[in-house]
């Protein structure tokens, strides 16, 4: 939904934010990206590209970064120089080593594995599903009673109990309490993959992290692809924070949103009116315009929430408020950059985080187990209902060609993120990066 679209639909978006670079809601009041958002986003995009290009160039001795960048910027020239063949262009530039047909590729792999020709060049292989199941079996049966608990949390951060595809404040809090009260659990690794969400829900979870620490059990956060805004709110007080070099994190900022539909309803002849003993009562109705006093109160709440966010980060990361203010404002950082700035302690994988947590309590990495909420009928029903979006996206793919279906799917995801948030204070610590970093 763009600013121009909201005007056509007669929706008035009342938006409040703290942080110059907190651009999550720009699609709701702009038709383009602000200069501040462009500057901030380009910084982390460059970091991600640097990491990706380094990985790509590993083992490509005949290819350097300057050539790779030139290839990308002038692909048409490279293509013309190779008889308009994309395959020959990739080969001659050094991006690939061989051009083979499918039978030739099988023969090549068979030769690499020492398979004889009389075996019809069939070679040892494993189906990817079988391989993934083998991976998932890790951390299932620790050899000792003392354990490291691994808790996986992904999706929007929202109040209450939620399925595994979201981070419910009550659901995750119960797991953290379970880890705290279990004598055999000696430390917790919290794996976060979230762009944020409800500020209230994030604070409820953070309090449970503090309770865990006070009980003497170390808490180590492992950041996945994305651990920004509300996810960083939760992470700030951890004993250690681990991130991947390409993790997107930070986004220290707060926003509030209050859409009103009085003009939309008026178009179809529906109006709302009434009286109250106090002018402020009833003003926060979705069917009436937001009054200046209420708007000011909402902005003050956002400002207070932002100040609280800064204080949490400063206390958890042992930084001054001034230092945090210079890193905040809604700026997003790559994991590598966040480490340089002191927002992250170490770069590494989930396994690295587990090893570090184990070392803190004198255990081995193998002494770890995934801790999950029990599956009951209510949780199963929530999970089934949550699959509706994926069904809708598959239907879009059937009836609309690419790239229309892909774009429609992303818009559907963006709508889901915005309208599924339900903070009691109407305050959100969300980067809204979830749908656009796939």
Closest CA to 181 of 154, 214, 153: 214
Q: Considering the domain boundaries, does residue 50 fall inside one? A: yes
Same-domain status, 304 and 431: yes
Alpha-carbon distance values, 202 to 129, 158, 176, 178, 394 (Å):
35, 8, 13, 18, 32
More confident residue, 276 or 39: 39
* Packing angle of the helix pair 35-57, 65-73 (nearest 10 deg): 120
CA atoms within a 13 Å half-sphere pointing along the CA-CB vector of 54: 8
Q: Residue 3 pLDDT more than 50?
A: no
pLDDT band of 382, cuts 50, 70, 90: low
pLDDT band of 399, cuts 50, 70, 90: very low
Q: Residue 325 pLDDT more than 90?
A: yes
Closest CA to 330 of 37, 44, 29: 37
CA dist 283 and 425 (Å) reads 15
Q: Residue 389 pLDDT more than 50?
A: no
What integer pLDDT is reported at residue 121 of this predicted model? 56
Going 290 to 292 to 296 to 299, the CA torsion angle's sign is: positive
What integer pLDDT is reported at residue 72 of this predicted model? 93
Q: Considering the domain boundaries, does residue 128 fall inside one? A: no
Same-domain status, 161 and 48: no
Burial class (CB in 10 A: 0-12, 13-18, 19+), 167: buried
What integer pLDDT is reported at residue 116 of this predicted model? 61
Q: Residue 130 pLDDT more than 50?
A: yes
What is the three-class DSSP state of 220? strand
**Average pLDDT over the chain, rounded to an integer:** 82
pLDDT band of 397, cuts 50, 70, 90: very low
> Of these residues, 23, 194, 222, 229, which one is catalytic?
229
What is the three-class DSSP state of 224? strand
What integer pLDDT is reported at residue 387 of this predicted model? 47
The pair of three-digit structure tokens given for residue 347, joined into one six-digit string: 């770069």
CA dist 270 and 290 (Å) reads 18
What is the three-class DSSP state of 258? strand
Same-domain status, 92 and 238: no
Q: Residue 45 pLDDT more than 80?
A: yes
Same-domain status, 114 and 184: no
What integer pLDDT is reported at residue 138 of this predicted model? 61
CA dist 365 and 367 (Å) reads 5
Same-domain status, 114 and 142: no
pLDDT band of 245, cuts 50, 70, 90: very high
What integer pLDDT is reported at residue 140 of this predicted model? 60
Q: Considering the domain boundaries, does residue 131 fall inside one? A: no
Q: Considering the domain boundaries, does residue 125 fall inside one? A: no
**CA distance between the termini of the chain:** 20
pLDDT band of 127, cuts 50, 70, 90: confident
Where is mean pLDDT largest: 29-38, 130-139, 188-197?
A: 188-197
CA dist 381 and 383 (Å) reads 5
Range of the domain at 413: 138-256+263-269+278-436
What integer pLDDT is reported at residue 137 of this predicted model? 54
What integer pLDDT is reported at residue 437 of this predicted model? 44
Same-domain status, 187 and 321: yes
At which of 119, 150, 178 does a domain end?
119
Q: Residue 309 pLDDT more than 50?
A: yes
22 is an active site residue: yes
Q: Considering the domain boundaries, does residue 361 fall inside one? A: yes
What integer pLDDT is reported at residue 120 of this predicted model? 62
Same-domain status, 183 and 318: yes
Which H or E run includes 420?
helix 404-420
At which of 91, 119, 147 does a domain end?
119
Please tell me the least confidently modeled range out of 3-7, 131-135, 211-215: 3-7
pLDDT band of 386, cuts 50, 70, 90: low
What integer pLDDT is reported at residue 57 of this predicted model? 86
Q: Residue 251 pLDDT more than 50?
A: yes
Q: What is the pLDDT of residues 285-295, one digit of tens each?
A: 777 777 788 88
What integer pLDDT is reported at residue 398 of this predicted model? 45
Q: Residue 390 pLDDT more than 90?
A: no
Same-domain status, 295 and 428: yes
CA atoms within a 13 Å half-sphere pointing along the CA-CB vector of 136: 7
CA atoms within a 13 Å half-sphere pointing along the CA-CB vector of 420: 22
Same-domain status, 432 and 380: yes
Q: What is the mean pLDDT of residues 323-331?
A: 93
Which H or E run includes 176?
helix 169-181
Same-domain status, 230 and 314: yes
Q: At 376, phi and psi to the nearest 5?
A: -125, 180
- The CATH number covering residue 382 comes to 3.90.226.10
pTM of the model: 0.80
At which of 59, 92, 119 does a domain end?
119
Q: What is the pLDDT of residues 160-210, one digit of tens each?
A: 988 888 899 999 999 999 999 999 999 999 999 999 999 999 999 999 999
Q: What is the mean pLDDT of residues 136-151?
A: 71
Same-domain status, 143 and 103: no
Q: Considering the domain boundaries, does residue 126 fall inside one? A: no
Q: In the chain, what is the greatest distance between 2 CA atoms, to the nearest angstrom?
A: 92
Q: Considering the domain boundaries, does residue 124 fall inside one? A: no
> Of these residues, 22, 186, 217, 339, which one is catalytic?
22
Same-domain status, 153 and 62: no
Number of domains in the chain: 2
pLDDT band of 425, cuts 50, 70, 90: confident
Cis peptide before 287 (omega within 30 of 0): no
4 is an active site residue: no
Q: What is the mean pLDDT of residues 233-250?
A: 97
Residue 14: Cβ within 10 Å count: 17
Q: Residue 436 pLDDT more than 80?
A: no
Q: Considering the domain boundaries, does residue 133 fall inside one? A: no
What integer pLDDT is reported at residue 34 of this predicted model? 84
pLDDT band of 395, cuts 50, 70, 90: very low
Q: What is the pLDDT of residues 69-119, one digit of tens each?
A: 999 999 999 999 999 999 999 999 989 999 999 888 888 888 887 776 555
Residue pointed to by tokens 């926003």: 255
What percent of the chain has a predicted confidence (pLDDT) above 70?
79
């Amino acid at each position: 939904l763009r600013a121009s679209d909201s005007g056509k639909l007669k929706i008035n978006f009342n938006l409040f934010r703290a942080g110059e670079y907190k651009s999550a809601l720009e699609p709701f009041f702009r038709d383009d990206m602000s200069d501040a958002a462009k500057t901030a986003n380009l910084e982390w995009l460059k970091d991600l590209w640097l990491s990706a290009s380094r990985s790509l160039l590993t083992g490509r001795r005949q290819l350097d970064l300057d050539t790779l960048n030139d290839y990308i910027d002038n692909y048409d020239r490279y293509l013309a120089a190779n008889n308009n063949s994309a395959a020959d262009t990739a080969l001659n530039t050094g991006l690939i080593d061989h051009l083979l047909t499918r039978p030739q590729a099988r023969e090549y792999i068979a030769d690499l594995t020492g398979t004889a020709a009389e075996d019809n060049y069939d070679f040892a292989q494993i189906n990817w599903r079988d391989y993934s199941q083998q991976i998932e079996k890790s951390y299932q049966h620790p050899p000792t009673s003392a354990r490291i608990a691994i808790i996986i949390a992904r999706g929007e951060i929202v109040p209450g109990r939620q399925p595994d595809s979201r981070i419910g404040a009550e659901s995750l809090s119960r797991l953290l309490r379970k880890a705290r009260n279990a004598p055999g659990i000696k430390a917790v690794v919290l794996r976060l993959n979230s762009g944020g969400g409800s500020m209230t829900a994030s604070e409820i979870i953070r309090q449970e992290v503090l309770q865990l620490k006070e009980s003497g059990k170390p808490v180590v956060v492992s950041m996945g692809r994305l651990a920004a805004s509300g996810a960083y709110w939760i992470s700030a007080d951890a004993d250690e924070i681990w991130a991947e070099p390409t993790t997107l994190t930070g986004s220290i900022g707060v926003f509030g949103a209050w859409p009103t539909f009085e003009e939309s309803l008026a178009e179809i002849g529906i109006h709302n009116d009434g009286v109250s003993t106090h002018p402020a009562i009833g003003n926060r109705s979705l069917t009436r315009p937001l009054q200046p006093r209420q708007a000011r109160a909402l902005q003050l709440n956002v400002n207070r929430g932002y100040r609280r966010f800064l204080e949490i980060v400063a206390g958890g990361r042992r930084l001054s408020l001034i230092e945090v203010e210079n890193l905040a404002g809604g700026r997003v950082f790559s994991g590598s950059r966040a480490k340089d700035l002191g927002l992250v302690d170490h770069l590494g994988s989930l396994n690295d985080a587990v090893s570090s947590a184990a070392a803190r309590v004198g255990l081995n990495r193998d002494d770890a187990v995934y801790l999950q909420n029990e599956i009951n009928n209510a949780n199963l029903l929530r999970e089934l209902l949550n699959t509706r979006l994926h069904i809708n996206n598959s239907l879009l793919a059937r009836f609309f060609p690419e790239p229309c279906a892909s774009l429609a799917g992303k818009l559907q995801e963006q709508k889901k993120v915005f309208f599924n948030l339900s903070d009691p204070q109407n305050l959100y610590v969300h980067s809204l990066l979830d749908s656009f970093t796939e």
